[in-house]
Amino acid sequence: MQDIVIGTALDWRGVAAVAEGAALSLSDAAQHRVETASQIIAAIVQSGVRAYGVNTGVGALADTVVDRPSQSRLSRNIVLSHACGVGPLLDCREVRAIIAAQIVNFSHGHSGVRPAIVQALQALLREDCIPDVPSKGSAGYLTHNAHIALVLIGEGSAKLGGKAVTGVEALGAIGIEPLTLAAKEGLSLVNGTACATGLGSVALARAEQLLEWADATAALTFEALGGQIAAFAADVLALRKSEGIRTSGESLRRRLAGSGLIAAAKDARTQDALSLRAVPHVHGAGWDMFAYAGTVVDRELASVTDNPAVSGTPDTPVVSSEAHAVAPALGQALDAMTVAIAQISAMSERRIDRLINPLVSGLPAFLAVDPGAGSGFMIAQYTAAALAAENRRLGAPASLDGGITSALQEDFLGHPTAAANKLLAVIDNAEQILGIELAAAVQAHDFRASVAERAAGTDLLYRLVRAALPPYADDRPLGKDLERARDLIRACQPPAV
């Protein structure tokens, strides 16, 4: 098993690797930072200096002092009261990512949790003990993290080896006693932007693979429709300044190199429709936005997002109330990535229509083996259109949502977790839309087989799909084929050329 070590920070790729099963440990320096911060909290408790969430209530109760004997109970009560998420559970990969991002936040040494808290979270990852975390209920953070913390105190529920267990059963199985939380630990366990950052890291990993498949699938369609490849020439695309356009253009040219079908179609028309001609521009915008969103998520992981932040030394402790748990930039970046993926999937749906539409394709109507008696991919395009429409609705920015919580104390909300969840939902739909295009493009190539040879790069795709899907002749329900094509996109990167 890969072991990822946190030194000064961890990037989104590291979090995504932990989400997929890698272990996570702290360097000696990071462990020292955690220990020092916990000593600072202990000094603040000893001194009695008022500090938010340490010896006061939280939210609108920030001015309500909590006496020293009640501070541990305050921490436990925060976890219990904040664990009010609802809806379907996050999948295990997403929960692991949130835990990883939470450990990263604690490793900066400004939260004040004891090392035992971090070690318990590491044990959840190491033993693949995954708390049950409802997906809905967060206006930014709090609820998802609280459901993870429930298991640490012997409450809630989890999956251990795929088996449903209670929180206390889960801890017993991995050899940990339920934790008694100290001052501030309850607040730190629910606080910060670990939820949105963890989910964002998973979304970025999925988006990168999706973008690679988008380029590859578009090339397969472009070839089947006899596209005019001169529009993808490097010197032509370089006229518009974009690293993403350059990346997508290179991918398309590499995939289509040596195509007999493209050569046979040269000069067949002055220019292609935009869903073909503008592939580098739309996909390139996605690659550009992917790079930007990755930078923002990495910056978030390098930041302290707990409130309050502790600093100084145990002899001269400092506690600072701030707003680092608010993450407008993260929400905006994930919203922008959502729009980019939604637009790519909308263009894919338009290419599906061109593949099946006999008015423009030059292929049998709806790619049916026996048009009339068979409908072929007619209704598959309906499915793609419905999913593209849903993505347009999901494209509305979560970061502009309103909402006022905690009796006007929290009178602005950035909604980064909602933005992350929307991005994941759009990726789900986009994977299926591209799966439909992939299946339809391969069917189109069956009808082009006698015209000329495919490119070596597109032939790799064709053979991969045909190994999983036989040609469609209205002889079975089509939906399962479309899901298998989607699963190819989810399972691996497209064959390299």
Per-residue pLDDT tens digits for 95-109: 999 999 999 999 999
Give CA–CA dist 397/406, Å, rounded: 23
pTM of the model: 0.96
pLDDT at position 84 over 70: yes
Among 136-150, 214-228, 330-344, which is the least confidently predicted range? 136-150
* Tokens at 452, concatenated: 């000329």
CATH class of 200-491: mainly alpha
Burial of 162 (0-12, 13-18, 19+ CB in 10 A): exposed
- Please give the sequence-ordered ranges of beta strands (E in DSSP) within 300-443, or none if there are none: 309-312, 317-320
Identify the weakest region by mean pLDDT among 305-319, 343-357, 437-451. 305-319
Taking the C-alpha atoms of residue 343 and residue 283, their distance in angstroms, rounded to an integer, is 9
Above 80 in pLDDT, residue 412? Answer: no
Average pLDDT over residues 375-402: 96
Say if residue 144's pLDDT is above 90: yes
- Mean pLDDT of the 270-280 span: 97
Q: What is the pLDDT of residue 1?
A: 63
pLDDT greater than 70 at residue 29:
yes
What local confidence, expressed as pLDDT, does residue 60 receive? Answer: 67
Residue, of 72 and 303, whose pLDDT is higher? 303
Segment 330-347 shows an average pLDDT of: 98
Residues 483 and 280 sit within 8 Å (Cβ to Cβ): no
Phi, psi of 407 (to 5 degrees): 55, 50
pLDDT at 47 over 90: no
What residue ranges do the domains of the chain occupy?
3-191, 200-491
The pLDDT > 90 percentage for the chain reads 85
Is the CATH number of domain 3-191 3.20.20.140?
Answer: no
- Amino acid 165: pLDDT: 97
Instruction: State the Cα–Cα distance between residues 97 and 146, nearest whole angstrom.
Output: 15
Is residue 331 within a helix (H) or strand (E), and if so which, with residue range?
A: helix 328-356
Spatial neighbors of 189 by CB under 8 A, at least 6 apart, are: 78, 79, 102, 113, 117, 145, 146, 148, 149, 152, 181
- Assign 309 a pLDDT band (cuts: 50, 70, 90): very high
462 pLDDT more than 80:
yes
* pLDDT bracket for residue 55 (50, 70, 90): confident
- 276 close to 232: Cβ distance less than 8 angstroms: no
195-217: per-residue pLDDT in tens?
Answer: 999 999 999 999 999 999 999 99
- Arithmetic mean of pLDDT, 110-129: 96
